Amino acid sequence: MNLAFSNLLNRHGLGRIASDVDEELQFHIEMLERKFMQHGMTSAHAKAAALQRFGSPDRIRKQCVEIRRRSRPLKRTLKSFSILLAFTGLAIHIHSSDCFITFGITLIWWGAGNNLGTILTHRLYCLAIAGAYLALSHIFFARKFTKTLRLMADSVACVGPS
Q: N- to C-terminal Cα distance for the chain? A: 87
Shortest CB 45 distance to other proteins, Å: 17
Q: Which is nearer to other proteins, 118 or 137 (CB)?
A: 118
Shortest CB 70 distance to other proteins, Å: 7
Q: Which is nearer to other proteins, 121 or 155 (CB)?
A: 121
84 Cβ neighbours under 8 A, 6+ residues apart: 111, 129, 133
Sequence-ordered alpha helix ranges (H) in 12-122: 15-38, 43-54, 57-70, 73-95, 101-114, 116-121
Q: Which is nearer to other proteins, 67 or 78 (CB)?
A: 67
Nearest to 92 by CA among 49, 48, 129, 138: 138
| CB-based contact 74:12 (threshold 8 Å) | no
Shortest CB 136 distance to other proteins, Å: 26
Q: Which is nearer to other proteins, 48 or 94 (CB)?
A: 48
Shortest CB 55 distance to other proteins, Å: 3
Q: Which residues bind other proteins (CB under 8 A)?
A: 20-21, 23-25, 27-28, 32, 53-57, 59-60, 63-64, 67-68, 70-71, 121-122
